[in-house]
Structure 1
Amino acid sequence: METNFKTIVISDVHLGTKGAKAKEVLRFLKQYRCQNLILNGDIIDGWQLKKSGSWKRKHTRVFNRILKMMDTDCTKVFYLRGNHDDFLDQVLPLEIGNLSIRKDMIYESHGKRYFVAHGDIFDSITSNLRWIAYIGDMGYTFLLWLNARVNHFRRKKGLPYYSLSQYIKSKVKSAVSYIDDYEKELTKIAKARGCDGIICGHIHKAELREIDGISYFNSGDWVESLSALAEDHCGNWQLIYYNEMDFKEKRDNVVRMQNQSSHAVQIS
């Protein structure tokens, strides 16, 4: 299992909400090393924190891990503003050491240019009709609450995790149409900016595909799909899903390396 990447992209963590999988994000970040970490929007959910959300110690631990990556591994961290963490508008653009807070960015790697943005700026509902966006957020929060109850009973029966909201998105025609339009519009923006691809989040649907010759990469989220984008040192991109990670293999490799190191010391 490869654990050292050039760039890792995560988005839509929504720290400060009940649905945020802070422990899983922390565990994920402890498994990998990267030169660049792009936090592509909605990492902190300012909307929910203003209402019924709450900030917990496990949420702080995620940022402590990121700070450690910056200090120990010299990881460059790019925090891009999303619609739920729009409070960042008050400070961006901001550069402090290896931390950069921006609205969006151009990422260049292996001769290719990618336009990186959360994605909400292309969503006319979120941008122009903010009150409708808030209503949609309330509905989504309810779905996540219901989803948690469904999976509580599924775990008792030994069944795997099931995303109710993802199922609804795939069945409602208007949602399917919206996602399709969203993806196509973002690739048009990337092309207009002279880029080879778009890297985004926002709609909580992980994707890695080509649209009209433009690469469309969506990192998904850490509320439902628990996914991230990763680029290796040869410029190849992949989606990593937390639920498919082999933590046992990782532990075995660490133990094996420790045993080899101990054996080498004894020989010397």
Structure 2
Amino acid sequence: METHFKTIVISDIHLGTKGSKAKEVARFLKQYRCDNLILNGDIIDGWQLKKSGSWKRKHTRFFNRILKMIDGDNTKVYYLRGNHDDFLDQILPLQIGNLSIQNDMIYESFGKKYFITHGDIFDSITSNLRWIAYLGDIGYTFLLWLNRQVNYHRRKRGLPYFSLSQYIKGKVKSAVSYIDQYEEELAKMAVAKGCDGIICGHIHKAENRNIDGIHYLNSGDWVETMSALAEDLEGNWQLIFYNEINFKQESPVISLPKPTEQDYKVVAFSKAEPNPGLTDFL
């Protein structure tokens, strides 16, 4: 299994909310190493923290993991602003060692350019009608609560995880239409920026496809999908889903033959022969 990537992109963790899979994303980052880590918005959910959210130890552990990646692996970390962590506007842009906090960025790799942005800037509802966005956030929070109740009973019955909100998004025509339009608009923005592709988050829908010649990538989220984007050392992008990772690292067991009584005699009384290769290790 490949464990070292050139770049990993994660977004929409929503730390500070009940639905945040902080423990899972920290475990995911412990499993892999990367030269660049891009936190593409909505990492901290300032909206919920202002209302009814709470900061827990597992949320702090996520940032402890980031610091270990910076110090131990010399990983460069880019934290891009999202709509739920818009409090970052007060300090943007900021550079501290290998940590950079900014609005968006252009990422160049293997002769290709990608415009990386959280994606809320292209959402007219979020940008212009803030109170409607908050109302939508309340509805989504309720869906996540309902989703936890549904999956609690599914686990008791031995059934796999089921995303209620993703199911509803797929069934409501207006939601499907919005997502399609959103992806097309971001592809157009990549063209306007003179880029070959665009990397975003925001809508909690992981994707890796081409739209009119533009490479469209969405890292998904760590509330339901639990997914990330990863670029290997040859410039190939892939989606990694937490639920598909095999965390069991089984070491090969080598069975050695049981020593006989004669073997013990040889070890104890035979004159040791010089090892010509021993000096190579000294």
% same residue: 80
- Structure 1 residues 78-100: Cα deviation after superposition (integer angstroms, max 9, x where no partner): 00000000000000100000000
Matched, 1:64 2:36: no
Matching residue of 2:212: 212
1:235 alignment counterpart: 235
Q: Indicate the residue corresponding to 2:41 in structure 1.
A: 41
* Rounded Cα–Cα distance in structure 1 between residues aligned with 2:202 and 2:93: 20
- Structure 1 residue 7, shift from structure 2 partner: 0.2
After TM superposition, which residue ranges in structure 1, 4 or more long, deviate above 3 angstroms?
Answer: none
What are the within-5 Å matches in structure 2 for residues 16-31 of structure 1? 16-31=16-31
Q: Secondary structure at the match of 1:149?
A: helix
**Aligned residue in 2 for 1:84:** 84
Q: Tell me the amino acid that sits aligned with residue 80 of structure 2.
A: L
Map 1:1-268 to 2 at 5 A: 1-248=1-248, 251-252=249-250, 255-256=251-252
The one-letter code matched in structure 2 to 1:206 is: A
- Please give the secondary structure, in 1, of the residue aligned with 2:228: strand
- Looking at structure 1, the residues matched to 104 and 24 of structure 2 have their Cα atoms a distance apart, in angstroms, of 26
The 1:256–1:75 alpha-carbon spacing in structure 2 relative to 1, beyond 3 Å, is: farther
Q: What letter corresponds to residue 191 of structure 1 in structure 2?
A: V
CA distance in 2, matches of 1:87, 1:256: 49
Structure 2: where are the runs of 5+ without partners? 254-280
Q: CA deviation at 1:165?
A: 0.1
Amino acid at match of 1:145: W
Q: Under a length normalisation based on structure 2, what TM-score does the superposition of the two structures give?
A: 0.89
Q: How many aligned residue pairs are there?
A: 255
Does the C-alpha gap of structure 1 residues 145 and 217 become closer, same or farther in structure 2, counting only changes over 3 Å?
same
Q: Separation in 2 of the partners of 1:160 and 1:9?
A: 26
Which of the pair is proportionally richer in helix? 1
What is the deviation of 1:256?
4.9
CA distance in 1, matches of 2:96, 2:39: 15
Q: What residue in structure 2 maps to residue 265 of structure 1? A: none
Q: Displacement, 1:2?
A: 0.6
- C-alpha displacement of 1:238: 0.2
User: Helix, strand or coil for the counterpart of 1:247?
Assistant: coil
Matching residue's letter, 1:235: G
SS at match of 2:208: strand
Structure 2 CA distance, aligned partners of 1:68 and 1:247? 20
- For 2:252 and 2:109, locate their aligned partners in 1 and report how far apart those are by CA, in whole Å: 34
Q: Amino acid of the residue matched to residue 174 of structure 1? A: S
Counterpart for residue 257 of structure 2: none
For 1:256 and 1:158, the matched residues in 2 are separated by 31
Secondary structure at the counterpart of residue 83 of structure 1: coil
Shift of 1:13: 0.1
Deviation at 1:149, TM superposition (A): 0.3
Amino acid in structure 1 at the alignment position of 2:183: E
State the Cα RMSD in Å: 1.2
Cα distance in 1 for partners of 2:252, 2:190 equals: 45
- Compute the displacement of 1:101 (Å): 0.2
